[in-house]
Amino acid sequence: MPDFSSHLFVFLLSAFLGLEVIRRVSHMLHTPLMSLTNAISAISVVVAIELAGQGHSTLGKVLGTLAVICATTNVVGGFLITERMLKMFKKREVKP
Amino acid sequence: MSFFPASFNCMLAEATTPAVHSGFDTRDAFITTCFLFACACFILSLKWLSAPATARKGNHIGALGMTAAVVGALLSAGIVSYTWIIIGLVIGAAAGIPMAVLMPMTHVPQRTALSHAFGALAAALVGTAHYYMDFARVGTSPLIMGILALEVLLGALTFTGSLMAFGKLQDLLPTRPMTYKGQNIVNVSILILAALCGVFLAIWPEQQWIFPILIVLALAFGVMLILPIGGGDMPTVISLLNSYAGLSASLMGFVLNNKLLIVAGALDGASGFVLSIIMCKAMNRSFVNVLFGAFGQVASSSAATTEKKNVRSGTAEDAAQILEAANLVIVIPGYGMAVAQAQHKVREMYDQLTRRGVDVRFAIHPVAGRMPGHMNVLLAEAEIPYDKLVEMDDINTEFPQCDVALVIGANDVVNPAARHDKSSPIYGMPILNADQAKTVMAIKRSMNPGFAGIENELYFSENCMMLFGDAKAVISSIAKELADGQK
């Protein structure tokens, strides 16, 4: 299974990279971190799109479309709310 | 080759479209580039999120990466009709935008739980579709089928688990831990049965009747797993569910030969994992203890028998006078502040005090609130500068010099029993040393112990003054007293 072992390499490398990068994230940003990674993990939208667009199986189309809906909700909502939260983090007062 | 999003290998082989299989065509190369670009964006995105100064840039590049990934997916050769894709994208966006834009910041934990549910459901649906379209008919290697089963198992249990967490956070379900005799045995049995289904499917993928059983067991396990989790453990559990949602996306990448999914899923899985470790450490508990320990069941009986002790209670006027005379005030916010939506009133009080030259800082315990970083977001919403928010380890040395520790709706994170009372369920948990302050003020609705049912001896100590009432009302009258005093 040459594919599988290369997948495993990719998985291990990105998991360790993720652990290193995320350990450095400031504690005060943990909530935005979670909403951002939530949006990123909705990457399954990519395969859901292929599933909803193929023409071989009705079941695939139905489940694919549902998956597109769920994943898109997370993608759009996730990035928007992260933006909304990050905008609020200010170091100094911006008072008139 | 395997970087190509050739998700429906078997299916495409049946469809016999030679162009797709002739190796390196431009379309494939472009899609691969899109996906590679997306991977790089996601990694940079998380890297830039590490500090508030670059965090927004991080969010933007994450969104850019996701756009590239979606563009790549839309160009995929297997797509014959865009109707349902567009319908799905439009409905999804229509649901996602209001959830993000209109929702009050106090509801962030609920929203997060709900989005974990959506993400996991998407992963489970794709896995299910792939099984019935492909593996159930033409079979596959036991390894790949096993991974698919694990992916669907994780997706389904995260779906119901997150819905349960949402229900508890939204107060649709009781926040208290729901326990019964033999609960752990039931849970573990369900999990083992589900795992057995997965093994059977790996060996005999054509046995289609097993698949629905696997899904039902996984859905049931998700519900059962969250039943005994109390509100105070939500930060850990939400992080853990976050990790599962990512992991199931990653596993799907293994099944569908899509490395973008593996990378993005692994990043998310790692993030949830790191957060849950931080949360567990902040409570001095293990994963197993959080999931199977049913926090708060032990102490509720002993709390009832405690004799009446003296409690000193004060008025907002008393509090305002003490605060006014202080040099350093440390505010300790907790879930009670979030429930009462008191953060804006806290800001008013903060303004009044800083105007008088009082140094006001905020001590943030990692598990304060219902999700990691919950307090930071609320205080940031109230426009309190983030350099005034200090983490537990940094602020704990300052309590002996501090004049007033003002506890707003926090309880267990300031309970000194964690330091010395071996019988307390929170023994060993790192706490904020509020008891070392010259004066402690605690805002609380009543003397009822919190959800965990643990008596807090801090409230009975000599230097503690209780301010009874709703956090928002109390803080707002303190702010008013301060404002009147200045005139």
Alpha-carbon distance of B347 to B398, in angstroms, equals 22
Whether residue B373 is predicted with pLDDT greater than 50 in this model: the reply is yes
The confidence score (pLDDT) of residue B178 equals: 82
Alpha-carbon distance of A13 to B382, in angstroms, equals 40
Whether residue B305 is predicted with pLDDT greater than 60 in this model: the reply is no
CA triple B315-B409-B232, angle to 5 deg = 160
The confidence score (pLDDT) of residue B308 equals: 56
Q: Does A41 touch chain B (CB under 8 A)?
A: yes
**Region B427-450 average pLDDT:** 85
- In which residue are the tokens 């405690």 written? B306
- Specify the pTM: 0.87
- CB of B117 closer than 8 Å to CB of B162: yes
The pair of structure tokens assigned to A55 is 């023409």
Q: What is the ipTM of this complex?
A: 0.94
Q: Which of B114-128, B195-209, B330-344, B414-428 has the lowest mean pLDDT?
A: B414-428
Note whether A4 contacts B250, CB cutoff 8 Å: no
Note whether A36 contacts B269, CB cutoff 8 Å: no
**Region B303-326 average pLDDT:** 77
Which domains can be identified in chain B, with CATH numbers?
1-102 (no CATH), 107-295 (no CATH), 307-486 (3.40.50.1220)
In percent, the amount of chain B with pLDDT more than 90 equals: 57
Work out the pLDDT band at B24, boundaries 50, 70, 90: low
Note whether A77 contacts B111, CB cutoff 8 Å: yes
Whether residue B432 is predicted with pLDDT greater than 80 in this model: the reply is yes
CA atoms within 13 A on the CB side of B112: 33
Q: Does A9 touch chain B (CB under 8 A)?
A: no
- CB of B96 closer than 8 Å to CB of A72: yes
Work out the pLDDT band at B11, boundaries 50, 70, 90: very low
Note whether A27 contacts B126, CB cutoff 8 Å: no
DSSP three-state, residue B320: helix
The confidence score (pLDDT) of residue B448 equals: 66
Å from B437 to nearest chain A CA? 24
Question: Among A14, A42, A18, A74, which residue's Cα sits nearest to residue B275?
Answer: A18
The predicted-structure confidence for B193-205, as pLDDT tens digits, reads as follows 999 999 999 999 8
- CB of B367 closer than 8 Å to CB of B238: no
Work out the pLDDT band at B437, boundaries 50, 70, 90: very high
What does residue B230 show for φ and ψ, rounded to 5 degrees?
Answer: -90, 170
Work out the pLDDT band at B452, boundaries 50, 70, 90: low
The confidence score (pLDDT) of residue B183 equals: 84
What does the pLDDT profile of chain A (96 residues) look like in tens digits?
A: 568 899 999 999 999 999 999 999 988 899 999 999 999 999 999 999 999 999 888 999 999 999 999 999 999 999 999 999 999 887 765 544
The confidence score (pLDDT) of residue A79 equals: 96
**A18, A43, A61 ranked by CB distance to B271: nearest:** A18
Work out the pLDDT band at B156, boundaries 50, 70, 90: very high
The predicted-structure confidence for B228-284, as pLDDT tens digits, reads as follows 888 778 888 999 999 999 999 999 999 999 999 999 999 999 999 999 999 988 888
Work out the pLDDT band at B417, boundaries 50, 70, 90: confident
Q: Which of B28-32, B34-38, B285-289, B397-401 has the lowest mean pLDDT?
A: B285-289
Q: Which of A29-33, B72-76, B293-297, B472-476 has the lowest mean pLDDT?
A: B293-297
Identify the active-site residue in B412, B421, B470, B484: B412
- CB of A4 closer than 8 Å to CB of B79: no
Residue B228 is classified by DSSP as T
Work out the pLDDT band at B450, boundaries 50, 70, 90: low
- CB of B376 closer than 8 Å to CB of A30: yes
Catalytic residue list contains B412: yes
CA distances from B379 to B103, B346, B347, B409, B463 (A): 16, 8, 8, 14, 27
Alpha-carbon distance of B424 to B302, in angstroms, equals 10
Work out the pLDDT band at B45, boundaries 50, 70, 90: very high
The three-state DSSP-derived secondary structure of A59-84 is HHHHHHHHHHHHHHHHHHHHHHHHHH
